[in-house]
């Protein structure tokens, strides 16, 4: 894989060829792998990701006009230009440049700016797209930092992460903030426990003697292009409201499952019992939910549901709440084992990852046959634990592999999943690779 220095030099040459000038600076934002804590950040719960070495790079030159010109080193992504003061983001089409516009608009709106200068930008990414490694959020974060730098303004990493998490919702996904937080707050050599409200990050030292390996299922899943992701967010929101109603809390003010736990002042284990008592395993119709909450279908659609979930025929509330509360507990257990570092730490952590995948597959239903096959292959090939990572329905798995069996593991997975299947014709770095915790977003000035 080319070094960062090699990529920057190549990007500079391509920029010169494209725009006839030299970039003033470059911005880098990494992708991430979520080790454990899937689909719970938007419910208010802590997650445990680390940045990967793959990233988004943008070469930038501010210009005197008000035109924003975006180009990509990948010919699959066409050039785009627009006025810096008339940003339109089309939610119906998650095109690559819209993610840049999210980050740009987030900074613009945060500072209330109306007369922005233009810029020429050339984007280069080596995070596989739609793979669950957060290529889209890395681009949003990169664009936010680009815009801040062009304007000569300052924000903390936490403020930047919060703005970018909020602004990515312009594309239509109701995400929770993990991806943007780790992109800015990551540090080389350590995973992070990311907590929300207020946003903060704590180092989590991963066990020595084992490595995390990412394997791409080669099934692409763009969470902004379908309603799967937002339906899950709404199912969690509805579950929170029904649980709050069951416990005589002010349900109309509740949005997240964590708020119910906080207001009741009970443990995650106790919340699992509350969910058992209050919710039934059969799917809920919109009419049944309205009956419980004493609202009309119109109120449900316009005041609670997001635009692309208003026509969902049923909602599975029991299963989603069970996943969220059990997964939130697994995150805390994972961190505790890393801190205590028992002799069998790798086996214990692996088991938590295996439990997480089962919950994602059976309760949250965000896996797919290829991911399940890949997880099984990884476990049979020597992983202590393996699970889907990212939104799911495709994308990547992450596996915890003892360092001494790594070469055998890689060879076995390559042979069993990729070879002769037509998947990932050249898996190389994009298909199957060991990774270690990388650093967060940075600005490089042209010397």
Q: What are the φ and ψ backbone dihedral angles of 113, each rounded to 5 degrees?
A: -90, 145
Sole residue written with tokens 């939610």? 91
Rounded distance, CA 42 to CA 65, Å? 39
- CA-based nearest residue to 391, from 128, 161, 134: 134
Q: What are the φ and ψ backbone dihedral angles of 148, each rounded to 5 degrees?
A: -60, -45
Rounded distance, CA 216 to CA 95, Å? 22
- CA-based nearest residue to 368, from 220, 235, 234: 220
Among 79, 179, 203, 311, the active-site one is 179
Q: What are the φ and ψ backbone dihedral angles of 308, each rounded to 5 degrees?
A: -90, 15
- CA-based nearest residue to 97, from 25, 170, 149: 170
**Whether residue 179 lies in the annotated active site:** yes
Q: What are the φ and ψ backbone dihedral angles of 212, each rounded to 5 degrees?
A: -95, 130
Rounded distance, CA 224 to CA 121, Å? 23
Other CB atoms within a 10 A radius of the CB of residue 404 amount to 11
Beta bridge partners of 92: none
Could you list the active site residues? 179
């Amino acid at each position: 894989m080319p070094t960062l220095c090699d990529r920057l030099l190549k990007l500079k040459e391509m920029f010169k060829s494209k725009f006839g000038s030299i970039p003033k600076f470059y911005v880098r934002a990494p992708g991430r792998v979520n080790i454990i804590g899937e689909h719970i950040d938007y419910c208010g719960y802590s997650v445990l990701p680390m940045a990967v070495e793959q990233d988004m790079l943008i070469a930038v030159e501010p210009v005197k006009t008000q035109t924003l010109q975006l180009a990509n080193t990948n010919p699959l992504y066409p050039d785009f230009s627009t006025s810096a003061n008339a940003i339109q983001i089309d939610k119906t089409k998650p095109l690559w440049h819209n993610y840049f516009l999210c980050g740009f608009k987030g900074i613009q709106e945060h500072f209330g700016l109306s007369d922005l200068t233009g810029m020429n930008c050339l984007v280069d990414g080596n995070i596989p797209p739609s793979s669950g490694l957060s290529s889209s959020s890395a681009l949003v974060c990169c664009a936010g930092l680009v815009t801040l730098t062009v304007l000569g303004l300052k924000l903390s990493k936490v403020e930047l992460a919060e703005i970018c998490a909020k602004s990515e919702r312009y594309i239509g996904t109701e995400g929770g903030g993990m991806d943007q937080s780790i992109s800015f707050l990551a540090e080389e050599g350590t995973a992070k426990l990311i907590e929300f409200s207020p946003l903060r990050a704590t180092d989590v030292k991963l066990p020595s003697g084992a490595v995390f390996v990412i394997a791409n299922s080669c099934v692409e899943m763009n969470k902004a292009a379908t309603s799967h992701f937002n339906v899950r967010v709404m199912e969690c929101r509805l579950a929170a409201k029904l649980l709050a109603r069951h416990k005589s809390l002010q349900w109309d003010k509740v949005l997240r499952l964590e708020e119910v736990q906080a207001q009741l002042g009970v443990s995650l284990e106790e919340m699992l019992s509350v969910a058992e008592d209050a919710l039934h395993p059969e799917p809920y119709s919109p009419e049944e939910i309205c009956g419980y909450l004493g609202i009309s279908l119109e109120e449900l659609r316009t005041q609670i549901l997001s635009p692309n979930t208003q026509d969902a025929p049923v909602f599975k509330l029991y299963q989603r709440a069970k996943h969220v509360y059990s997964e939130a507990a697994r995150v805390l257990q994972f961190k505790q084992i890393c801190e205590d570092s028992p002799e069998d730490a790798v086996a214990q952590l692996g088991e938590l990852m295996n439990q997480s995948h089962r919950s994602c597959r059976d309760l949250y239903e965000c896996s797919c046959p290829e991911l399940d096959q890949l997880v099984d292959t990884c476990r049979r090939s020597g992983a202590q634990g393996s699970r889907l990572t990212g939104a799911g329905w495709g994308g990547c798995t992450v596996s915890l592999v003892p360092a001494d069996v790594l070469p055998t593991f890689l060879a076995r997975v390559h042979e069993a999943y990729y070879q002769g299947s037509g998947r990932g014709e050249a898996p190389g770095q994009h298909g199957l690779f060991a990774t270690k915790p990388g650093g967060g977003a940075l600005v490089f000035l042209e010397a």
